[in-house]
Homo-oligomer: A and B are copies of this chain.
Amino acid sequence: MAVDEKRFLEDLHKLRQFGASGVGKGVIRPAYSEADIAARHWLAGRMAEAGLTPHFDPVGNLFGLAEGPSLLMGSHSDSQPEGGWLDGALGVIAALEVARSSEQPISVVSFQDEEGRFGVTTGSAVWSGELDLERADELTDHTGETFGCARASMADCAASFVDPGRFTGFVEMHIEQGPSLDTQGDQIGVVTDIVGIRNMVVQFDGQQNHAGTTPMHLRRDAFQALSLFNTRLNDQFRNVVTPQTVWTIGHVDLHPSASSIVPGRARFSMQWRDGDADRLARMEEIIRNTASDIAAQSGMELSYGSLLGLEPVAMDHKLRKALEAAAEQIAPGRWRRMPSGALHDATNVSRMMPVAMLFVPSIGGISHDFTEDTAETDLVAGLKVLDCAVQKLKSSM
């Protein structure tokens, strides 16, 4: 039985009525909001109609369980406080449609709080054991409400955690949330890996001084050190990075931050992402060496905050090959392999089973915004690739 494009698109548009923002196709459906809980109950009903057994776990992750061992597919249906209609929702509804039409046993999942009202990919993090439930319960949103209190609002339907051993693997379809596919006119991206991330605060301490009476050659100006560091770093990275590597100085805090005072301190964030753990380490070495050189040259004290990070996750070879073959069949010449620069539930799920991911284009690279959108032909192409890959997986078994 083939996937039903019309039913798939109708369900996708039905889902966006829960928490519709009134602005374009945008939605306001943060984790545990009334709209989110209502959407999950509607989804549970659609799962039951598809012959799956709906199952809410203690944190609000919603599974539609097939009988016996099955492939798990899905994503999340919660949104950013001002979100788009596809981020997460696409992967859940596409999984539902494939489960409905496939002869293979397919289970469906909508993880809870992927968007991080309380943390980062909270629902899948708890399920995978990455995050203790006790610790999770103490997390708070920006209003001070705890995760423990929020998940209590779904206690009436909560059952036990689902045994991950019943799933043979996990496939997550998602919008790219970046501009690569859209810019290049490609329709499908098969994810090679979810990039690792490193985050570190760097601080230069020079000498705060009078901006009128301190000659340039006697200054120990922390902003000048930061600027020099940035320029040198961009240069040093040139022979190490790939076109997929990214690095960002997004936060800068000068002290005392006054127009008439030579800034004595520059504290800034340094973040870098890459799919290769060795390259992440090599970049760290370059960052530290460059900062040391600049500090010595500019008369700065140099200090660092903790290095935080997540390791890169490589996609499972067999699942990925099935997606690639399906992509070549459905969108010949219009697909590419690419890393995911954003985090996804698949990162957590990879602790328990083989995972793979599929991207469709985001128009203009826009996401986490009411204007987020993808051409319906691309949404359908993604659905077909998913379905086709499932069939290929069956034939390879």
Contact = CB atoms under 8 A, between A and B. Distances in A.
A242 to B, nearest CB: 10
A177 B261 CA distance: 13
Contacts of A269: 258-259
A181 to B, nearest CB: 11
Contact of A251 (B183, B254, B368): B254
A81 to B, nearest CB: 14
A168 interface: no
A131 B314 CA distance: 69
A211 interface: yes
Nearest to A218: B179
A249 B223 contact: yes
Contacts of A234: 224
A241 B216 CA distance: 11
Interface string A199-237: 100000000011111111110010110111011001000
B251 A259 contact: yes
A243 interface: yes
A354 interface: no
A219 to B, nearest CB: 8
A343 B365 CA distance: 51
A102 interface: no
Given A177-B210, A209-B365, A259-B199, A215 B246 contact: yes
A373 to B, nearest CB: 16
Contacts of A259: 199, 248, 250-251, 269, 271
A77 interface: no
Contacts of A176: 213
Contacts of A252: 223, 252, 254, 257
A291 to B, nearest CB: 15
A262 B250 contact: yes
A246 B197 contact: no
A244 interface: yes
A273 interface: yes
Contact of A227 (B210, B221, B230): B230
A254 B226 CA distance: 14
Contacts of A263: 249-250
A195 interface: yes
A341 interface: yes
A148 interface: no
Contacts of A241: 216
A258 B254 contact: no
A180 interface: yes
A223 B246 contact: no
Contacts of A248: 211, 221, 259-262
Nearest to A261: B250
Contact of A214 (B217, B245, B365): B365
Contact of A246 (B195, B211, B250, B340): B211
26 contacts: A177-B210, A178-B212, A179-B215, A179-B218, A180-B215, A183-B218, A210-B367, A211-B271, A212-B246, A212-B273, A212-B341, A213-B340, A213-B342, A214-B246, A217-B243, A218-B365, A224-B230, A248-B259, A248-B260, A250-B262, A251-B254, A251-B257, A251-B259, A252-B252, A258-B269, A260-B271
Interface of A: 176-180, 183, 195, 197, 199, 209-218, 221, 223-224, 226-228, 230-231, 234, 241, 243-252, 254, 257-263, 269, 271, 273, 340-343, 365, 367-368
Shortest 7 CB-CB contacts between residues of A and residues of B: A178-B213, A212-B341, A259-B269, A211-B248, A213-B341, A227-B230, A227-B227
